């Protein structure tokens, strides 16, 4: 009876072992081992730079982030190395935070005190440059305005939109998102009886900062042909 139960016990033990092994595999490496693996990856990249090569700094920064995410206590100089990697990838604000923490904790006796000071200064300069660039981008983005332009001509009634848009692009090189519609009809004025004109309405966006303008309003131009008669051409723009 006991012999009959043995295969069942072995099968149960084997099943339990397989389940435990599968669970362990699904969970990956223990946190301590995974942290060491990630730190080793980061260290390998930084050693390339120290030996005159070229480190993959995004890879190093990602590895240090992953190591810290395991929750395992990090080495004493971790913040310095992480700050170095962050600075190399252009993450100046995050680099400043790490380097400041390293300097506060370890002070003048820190192993990388001098290097940390230099990196901190570089990170400050990098952040200032990035902040100014962001400010300029924000100002440029805020300077886009919606404009509606009416263009008319009594000379050539063909290709109205093409000619109207070309005129606008000369008037405002920053012009974007142009949308044009044209119509042709007789001019409702005694002096221009039996004359036709083409009128095109173009909506577009222009950048006041790029153009160094206060507005895109009030542009108007006329030209006159001698001999066969007068030709009227003009353009009026107004911000919406």
> What is the per-residue pLDDT for 83?
98
Cα–Cα distance list, 229 to 114, 184, 195 (Å):
82, 20, 11
pLDDT tens, residue by residue, 121-163: 999 999 999 999 999 999 999 999 999 999 887 766 778 899 8
In percent, the amount of the chain with pLDDT more than 90 equals: 63
pLDDT tens, residue by residue, 9-27: 333 433 343 334 344 434 6
Spell out the domain ranges in the chain.
Answer: 31-138, 144-239
pLDDT tens, residue by residue, 189-203: 776 677 788 889 999
| pLDDT over 70 (residue 91) | yes
CA distance 85 to 69: 16
In sequence order, what DSSP letters do the residues of 14-54 get, joined into one string? HHHHHHHHHHHHHH-S-HHHHHHHHHHHHHHHHHHHHTTS-
Q: 31-138 adopts what CATH topology? A: 1.25.40
């Amino acid at each position: 009876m006991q012999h009959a139960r043995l295969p069942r016990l072995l099968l149960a033990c084997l099943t339990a072992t397989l389940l435990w092994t599968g669970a362990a595999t699904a969970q990956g490496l223990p946190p301590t081992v995974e942290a060491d693996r990630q730190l080793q990856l980061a260290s390998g990249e930084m050693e390339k730079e120290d030996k005159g090569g070229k480190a993959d700094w995004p890879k190093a920064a990602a590895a240090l982030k992953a190591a810290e995410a395991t929750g395992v206590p990090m080495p004493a100089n971790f913040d310095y190395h992480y700050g170095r990697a962050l600075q190399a990838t252009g993450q100046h604000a995050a680099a400043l935070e790490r380097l400041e923490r390293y300097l506060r904790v370890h002070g003048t006796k820190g192993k990388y005190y001098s290097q940390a000071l230099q990196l901190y200064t570089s990170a400050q300069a990098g952040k200032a440059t990035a902040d100014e660039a962001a400010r300029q981008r924000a100002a440029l983005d805020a300077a886009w305005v919606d404009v509606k332009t009416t263009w008319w001509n009594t000379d050539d009634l063909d290709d109205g939109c093409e000619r109207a848009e070309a005129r606008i692009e000369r008037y405002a090189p920053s012009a974007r998102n142009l949308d044009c519609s044209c119509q042709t009809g007789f001019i409702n004025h005694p002096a221009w009886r039996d004359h036709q004109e083409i009128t095109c309405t173009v909506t577009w966006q222009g950048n006041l900062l790029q153009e160094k303008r206060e507005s895109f309003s009030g542009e108007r131009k006329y030209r006159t042909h001698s001999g066969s008669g007068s030709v009227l051409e003009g353009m009026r723009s107004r911000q919406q």
